[in-house]
Structure 1
Amino acid sequence: MAFNYHRELQAWVVPLLLVGFFAYLMSHSFLSVFEVTADAMFLCFAIDTETNDGSEEKPYFVDQELLVNLSDNSK
């Protein structure tokens, strides 16, 4: 056999599919956690802006940088 050809080493499709599937599962899990975190932050922002008006008696609890960025994007 030329170049030490081994027939059993040619079955690369199954391991490749398994690695691809598990990589997809891991990345999907990570991005799902990231998505839920972002949704929770926006929900907290919405509740804070509804219940508070930014006055001395009812100040915003949201970070000022986030407040400015979201206010600029909503205009």
Structure 2
Amino acid sequence: MTTPFDEAVRAGPPAAGDSPAFEVFGVHYAAQALWELLDALPGKAEATLAKRRLQEAVFWGQQAARPIAPQPRTE
């Protein structure tokens, strides 16, 4: 069974002091486990919706963890 998070989990965790990459890895690891749990549920329509929301949550979490690039000054 494959999940959208397999590649990130297979890459392995970064160094514990590498923040926020270490925390993002933890989110991917947990999301992979939740995805597999949702695959095993009998209510496929609800599980499909939950998986879609899980993907969105992980995506936006990654976006929030990205460093903000300095913006050029306009004077």
Alignment TM class, shorter chain as reference: 0.3 to 0.5
Could you say which structure has the greater relative contact order, defined with CA pairs below 8 angstroms and 6 or more residues apart?
2
Normalising by the residue count of structure 1, what TM-score does the alignment of the two structures yield? 0.38
Larger Rg: 1
Normalising by the residue count of structure 2, what TM-score does the alignment of the two structures yield? 0.38
Q: Which has the higher helix share?
A: 1
